[in-house]
Amino acid sequence: MVVTDSPNLIKNWQLKFDAQQHLEEVIRIYQASYRGGLVEFENSITRYNPMNILQVRKIDKKGMQQEFDSSSLDNGHIAALLAIWASHKIATAYGVMSNQVQKEDDIDRAMLPFSI
37-76 residue pLDDT tens: 999 999 999 999 998 888 888 888 877 777 888 888 889 9
For residue 61, give its domain range.
Answer: 22-96
- Rounded-to-integer distance, Cα 15 and Cα 110, Å: 22
Find out whether 68 and 55 touch, Cβ atoms under 8 Å: yes
- Would you say residue 81 lies in a domain? yes
Find out whether 17 and 82 touch, Cβ atoms under 8 Å: yes
pTM of the model: 0.72
Query: How many domains does the structure of the chain reveal?
Result: 1
- Would you say residue 78 lies in a domain? yes
**Average per-residue pLDDT for the chain:** 82
Identify which of 54, 104, 57 has the alpha carbon closest to the alpha carbon of residue 80: 54
- Would you say residue 10 lies in a domain? no
